[in-house]
Amino acid sequence: MINYFKKLLHMKDTADDGSVKSFVDNQQKEEAYDERVLGIQVVPLDKIVGSVGRYKDFNRRFRLKKDRPSARFERVMEAFKKKIILPPITLYQIKNEYYVLDGNHRVSAANNLGYEFIDAHIIEFLPSKNTLENIIYRERSAFLAKTKVPDTIDLTEVGQYGRLLKQIDEHHVFLMKAGDDETDYLVAAMDWYKTIYTPLETIIKNSRLDRRFSKRTRSDLYAYISNHQWVRGKDREYGIGIDQLIPKNMEEFRLKMEQLKDLELPEMKHWISAFILIEVKAGKELEVMDRLHKMDEIQEVHFVHGFFDLIAKIMMKRELMSSDAEIIGHFLHKKVRQVKDVIKTQTLIPISSREKKPILERSS
């Protein structure tokens, strides 16, 4: 057993002995030669994967190799420990990976001390190969460079970032017409992100809608829903009540969300009711009534004359973008039809309803 663990440790050490990635190698692979300066940003250390000129001096965990001089590294470590503020490092970026141009020892020291982030001056190199991934990446980079919104919007279709830019443009115009002709575009973009994008993205998250589209992100669903709701306005299959939650006008949606506190953001839940007509085995009506009445979803059960023997009223909570028929059908299949002595069912889903309080409540 001891030898086994020694072998594992040796394998780990051997894996770490490799060098960090070479910027030049990846630059050639991605044909990334067009550059632009992004300025100083906070960068996660785990995104720094390589070096521009000293990739052979550091292992894959960005620690100085044993045969390399360590005096510079020790001085940097000492500065970190004494909380001395050092200048930002300089990184080259290709897609979501960063390579150190200046500051290799600072990155190594920060890794050794368990830091998660580091300040860096970023110069991005854009990949020029016309792959789908690269086209979307360039669109995303242009979107972020123009709007300066947080890097959380992840779209997977070409052209969708352009649609979001149109939304921001419209919101910018709206804000200026609302009373401030000097509203800065970046202010409008951040306001769009906070008051329009984030609330709708939260609704999608709370509804778990993205679980039904495994190859799509919540940002994709935001783009799809907002485009069809606010631009095309055509018939959708989101389910009854969607227009009450997401108005057809983007600014109406923003105003509606402004009235809610963060904890009150809609979870897209909606009560639905239906009536189930049930045929049961002769002589088993009361037994089946008792079994059905124990189910939380069933509010009432009645023994009646006619072709069907029982009528049950169900009340269920469902996601607003789900289908009523799908939710009710699942309940029937998994629960009602599994009840012993149930022969046949028929479901009636109300299109609209009018209810009155019981007579005793009205008279009081």
- Is residue 160 within 8 Å of residue 61, measured between CB atoms? no
pLDDT in tens, 25-60: 999 988 899 888 888 989 999 999 999 988 788 887
Q: Which position has the token pair 């005793």?
A: 360
For the domain made up of 2-128, give the CATH fold: 3.90.1530
Q: What is the pLDDT of residue 251?
A: 85
Q: How far apart are the first and last CA of the chain?
A: 81
pLDDT in tens, 259-309: 766 545 555 556 778 899 999 999 999 999 999 999 999 999 999 998 999
The H or E element that residue 38 is part of is strand 32-44
Q: What is the pLDDT of residue 79?
A: 92
Three-class SS state of 352: coil
What's the gap between Cα 54 and its chain centre?
37
Three-class SS state of 127: strand
- Is residue 218 within 8 Å of residue 210, measured between CB atoms? yes
Q: What is the pLDDT of residue 99?
A: 95
Q: What is the pLDDT of residue 279?
A: 95
Residues of the chain with CATH 3.90.1530.10: 2-128
Beta partners for 274? 314
Q: What is the mean pLDDT of each run of 10 residues along the chain (364 residues)?
A: 45 55 90 88 91 82 73 88 92 93 91 91 89 90 91 92 95 83 85 90 80 85 87 53 68 78 56 90 94 94 94 80 66 91 89 68 53
Residues of the chain with CATH 3.30.70.920: 270-348
Q: What is the pLDDT of residue 140?
A: 92
CATH 3.30.70.920 fits 270-348, yes or no: yes
